Structure 1
Amino acid sequence: MKRILTLIMCLIAAVKGYSQTQPGPQAYNFSIQEAVDYAIAHKDSVVNARLDITSADYRVKEIIGQGLPQISGQATFQDYLKVPTTLLPGEFFGQPAGTFIPVKFGVKYQSNLAASASQLLFDPSYIIGLQSRKTYKELYNRAYTRTKIDVIANVTKAYYQVLVSNEQIKLLDANIAQLKQQVDQTTAQNKQGFVEKIDVDRIAVQYNNLVTNRENTLRLLALNYQLLKFQIGMPIEFNLTLKDKLTDINMDADVAQIAGDTTFYKKRIEYGLLETNLKLSQFDLRRQKAQFLPTLSANASYALSYQNNSFRNLYTTSFPSSYVGLTLNVPIFSGFQRTNRVKQSEITVQKNQNNLNSLKNALGLQAEQAKVVYFNGLQSLNNQKRNQELAREVLRVAKIKYQQGVGSSIEVTQAQTELENADNSYVQSLYDALVSKVDLDKAYGRIQ
């Protein structure tokens, strides 16, 4: 029995010591910029966009490689189990006309070793492909920028959501504290016979509702932290706290200066992407037209042939052969295929140009909408701040009137409810204003 107890104690000590040596979850304390930097380094969509850029580099190298010498080697071996037989006219051997003599040409074992090379000398399609490689890489770089901008906007909004939830909890804590004091005072007055039991019950109901609301908000806050960690690509088991406060955010954006920029659409990555697509379609049109021009390439080959009836002596004697030459390919007629491909490319160029013009108008409309929403959000936020102050003042007066016996508990309850509604409206207006600020910066190309 003692041995069993000793063994159990040793196991407990070992487990405890092991758990103490294991590192706990990593902890981070991020500002908004640090959260954005972490997301750019770890968010899977951004990482994949960077991989696309690397893949595009290899694709460009592949295209360049088409103009470099192409060298290949070949080795063959044949064992003729039955050497082919050819019939020769009998006259060759002094036989009567019309007769044939079977003759076997060749040997049992044959082998060939060959190396060939070709070099592209002139191909307009290849030249145009080289000219477009910079634009091709630009397409993936801008796609990476677009992904990064989306991640920055999403991370910023998620960060703001956590800050707003924390602000909501502060407001709830303040209301709960003052309401708890009111509950205690009303309960004491009820015991002394100054107020009725129903007055205590009314305030208790409000207090319980506030406590429940706070618990629900705490759970939502935890969820908002999880959402923020997801947006920045952080494992959800890591610990994350925030440095920035709501007071650190400048809500007074210089909208007049932003609105004065009439070429803001050129800063939008969506416009840049369509510009790049237009350039690529123009290169493709030139490539299709180049299909009408001839191509020229050089080629060379060197081969060794081995033949023998004995496998052992097969590679003792070789018969070399070699050549160099030029190949000129002149397109003459392809059933109008090249012409139709050119027409299709011309239509693609026109469509991309139309899309670019349409996007310019759409971005202008989006910017105007973002500006209006931002102005409305600021106005609503300022209005809700004033409503908060008024609701607090109404509650203060209602309490004084109730304590002096010239007011009712219903007035106090209604004033408390109005303050809670004002706080909720303020929190919602605060989040809406913060989100509209992000959307405004994005609409005017200020997020890069």
Structure 2
Amino acid sequence: MVKNIFLIVLCLCATQLLGQDKWSLQQCIDYALEHNIQIKQSELDAQSADINLFGSRMRSLPDMNANVSFNTSKGRSIDPFTNTIIDQGINSQNASINASVPIFNGFEIRNSVKRDQKNLLASTYDLQSTQNDVILNVVTFYTNILFNMELLETAQLRLGTTQSQQNRVDKQVEIGALPMADLLQIRQQMANDELEVIRAENNLELSKLQLKQALQIPGDVEFEIEIPTLPEPEEEVLIENSSQVYLYALQNQPVIKAARARTESAMYGVGVARSNYFPSLSLNAALSTAYSSAAPDVFPVLGSENQVITQQIGFVQLPDDSQYPVFAEREVPSEFTENTYWNQLDFNQRQFVGLSLNIPIFNKFQVKNNVEQAILTQKNTEYQLINAKNQLQQTIEQAYLDVKSAAKAYSALENSLEAAQLSFDNAEQRLQLGATDAVEYTQIKNDYERVRSDLVRAKYDYIFKLKVLDFYQGKPLNF
């Protein structure tokens, strides 16, 4: 139920959007870039890489943790206040705050930051590459719509011409100027032309559906595009060779930039793995305290001065069997405080600061294996970069050859159309004068219409392949 409601709302919103204006190519591109799922996934990958980079940078900050524990015991145990063995029930509590700051760890943090910076850069270029793929798809489907619209217009004009010829032949058959076979031939051609119109309409609807699917718009929504004024393509606009295009694309195509960034990231990954060969040094600090229910009723006040007192420490046995007391001086605190919870926590405070040095000696060859794996990863990314360059070069060479072939085909069909036009005009005049039959006329007309359709197809094929070549040269893909 919820899914159906969502689809209805989506259709209504899309209908409202599409019902306002016809869509230009730029509007289609902008809409696809905003709503395409693959682009959104690439954006999430870039955000994830950014989070990883933030985490690597923050590793140079101190670690700080607090710990609190509550304990109860019965029987013989160690009094946490006096560290003596007692035989009674004790309730105790411990609390501490610990901090550790890395000072040196074999440049592991620095290499991790640089590695994640390159990963973020690669994710950003991947996003741009995905956007470029979406743009090319939109341009392809948009061009297909224009192509099929012109084919439909050509089919409709052809049907109109056949209709006029049928009316003319029908009148000539009525007066006996032409045989009935010519009328039947024209009627057959009329049926074929009607079928071609239906096919052209279906192809146009299919191309619109493909573009709507690329834009992720429901298929039952009305959708129309703007018809731009397309200049006739000229073969002279071609550059001399594909090397110029490749050199530009090599420096600017995001797929190459992403491969380079991943190669550099893998290089820093080797540094991260090798950092475990080095000692690590960190600064540690802690603050702790404790509470014990077995503590005495009073204990010295922290910071109070000691005082000297004379205290009896025993007796000396005299010859007459009498005892003589013995006294000694000792230092004792001058102030005491009651054993309250907070006073005891304050009294039991302990501060600690120290350096910790960790020296790796033997780790079951784990570091060695990690370094070798990182080196293999680096070599693999280098091969991936080489492969990406080769694929880019092959794609551009193929695109350049396709443009040259399309240009030659377009030029040849222009010349062929001119000859077919003259032949068709001549056949039409001869048919009107009764100098030819409908069979010959239909054959010449079909040849002419075939050349016209081929020229339309060659024109849009040439335009699209030029746009593909423009894409690798960094030119905008608008018409």
TM-score bin (small chain): 0.7 to 0.9
Corresponding residue for 2:298?
A: none
CA contact (8 A) 2:233 2:459 kept: no
Shift of 1:280: 0.8
Deviation at 1:370, TM superposition (A): 1.4
Please state whether the residue corresponding to 2:290 is helix, strand or coil: strand
Q: Note closer, same or farther for the CA distance 1:419–1:199 as it changes in structure 2 (3 Å cut).
A: same
Q: Residue 157 of structure 1 contacts residue 438 of structure 1 at CA under 8 Å; is this kept in 2? A: no
> 1:149 is matched with which residue: 117, 132, 143?
132
Q: 2:98 aligns with which of 116, 123, 136?
A: 116
8 Å contact kept, 2:431–2:441: yes
- 1:15 matched to which residue of 2? none
Partner of 2:31: 38
Q: Deviation digits for residues 137-182 of structure 1, max 9, x if unmatched?
A: 2111111111111111111111111111111111112111111101
Asked if 1:289 corresponds to 2:274, the answer is: yes
Q: Contact (CA 8 Å) 2:52, 2:116: kept in 1 or not?
A: no
2:350 match? 321
User: Aligned to 2:278, what secondary structure does the other structure show?
Assistant: coil
**1:49 correspondence with 2:42:** yes
Paired with 2:370 and 2:90, the residues of 1 have a C-alpha distance of: 52
Distance 2:75 2:173 in 1: 122
Give the structure 2 partner of residue 25 of structure 1.
16
Matches within 5 A, 1:261-340: 263-264=247-248, 265-308=250-293, 315=341, 317-318=344-345, 319-340=348-369
Matched, 1:162 2:153: no
Could you state the TM-score of these two structures normalised by the residue count of structure 2? 0.77
Aligned pairs (5 A) from 1:330-409: 330-409=359-438
Unaligned runs of at least 5 residues, structure 2: 1-11, 79-84, 296-338
Partner amino acid, structure 2, of 1:283:
Y
Shift of 1:233: 4.1
Partner of 2:328: none
Shift of 1:218: 1.6
Alpha carbons 1:29, 1:241 under 8 Å: kept: yes
Judged with a 3 Å threshold, the aligned counterparts in structure 2 of structure 1 residues 196 and 427 are, in CA distance, closer, same or farther, namely same
Distance 1:283 1:410 in 2: 77
- What's the CA shift string for 1:70-107, capped at 9, x where partnerless? 22222222344xx25479xxxxxxxxxxxxxxx86563
Partner-residue secondary structure (3-state), 2:16: coil
Structure 2 contact 154–453 (Cα < 8 Å) conserved:
no
Partner of 2:240: 256
The aligned residue for residue 98 of structure 1 is none
SS at match of 1:247: coil
For 1:59 and 1:292, how far apart are their aligned partners in 2?
24
Range with bigger deviation, 178-187 or 206-215: 206-215
Partner of 1:220: 203
Question: Is 1:175 paired with 2:168?
Answer: no
Match of 2:470 in 1: 441
Unpaired runs of at least 5, structure 1: 1-20, 88-102
Separation in 2, partners of 1:257, 1:400: 47
Is the CA contact 1:57–1:137 (under 8 Å) kept in the aligned structure 2?
yes
Pairwise CA distance, 1:243:
2.7
Counterpart residue type for residue 179 of structure 1: T
2:246–2:392 contact (8 Å) kept in structure 1: no
TM-score computed with the length of structure 1 as normaliser:
0.82
1:345 offset after TM fit, Å? 2.5
**Structure 1's 386 and 208: CA in aligned 2 closer, same or farther, altered over 3 A?**
same
* CA distance in structure 1 between the aligned counterparts of 2:97 and 2:128, rounded to whole angstroms: 47
Q: Tell me the distance in 1 between the aligned counterparts of 2:30 and 2:23.
A: 10
Structure 2 CA distance for aligned equivalents of residues 24 and 131 of structure 1: 48
CA radius of gyration, larger in: 2
| Greater mean alpha carbon deviation, residues 250-259 or residues 342-351 | 250-259
CA distance 1:395–1:149, shift in 2 (3 Å): same
Change beyond 3 A, Cα 1:45–1:22: closer
For the structure 1 residues 105 and 294, does the alpha-carbon distance in structure 2 shift closer, same or farther, using more than 3 Å as the test?
Answer: farther
Matched pairs, number: 409
Aligned-partner SS, 2:436: coil
Q: Which secondary structure does the structure 2 equivalent of 1:215 belong to?
A: helix
Identify if the C-alpha distance between structure 1 residues 71 and 23 changes in structure 2 by more than 3 Å, giving closer, same or farther. closer
Moved more, 290-299 or 22-31: 22-31
Q: What is the CA RMSD across the aligned residues, in angstroms?
A: 3.0
Cα distance in 2 between the residues matched to 1:22 and 1:63:
43
Q: Secondary structure at the match of 1:242?
A: coil
Q: Structure 1 stretch 223-232 or stretch 271-280: which is displaced more?
A: 223-232
AA aligned opposite 2:16 = P
The one-character-per-residue Cα deviations of 1:293-350 (angstroms, maximum 9, x if unpaired) are: 111112222233233389xx99564343332222111112223332233233233333
Contact persistence 2:60–2:109 (CA under 8 A):
yes
SS across alignment from 1:135: helix
Closer, same or farther: CA 118–387 of 1 in aligned 2, 3 Å:
same
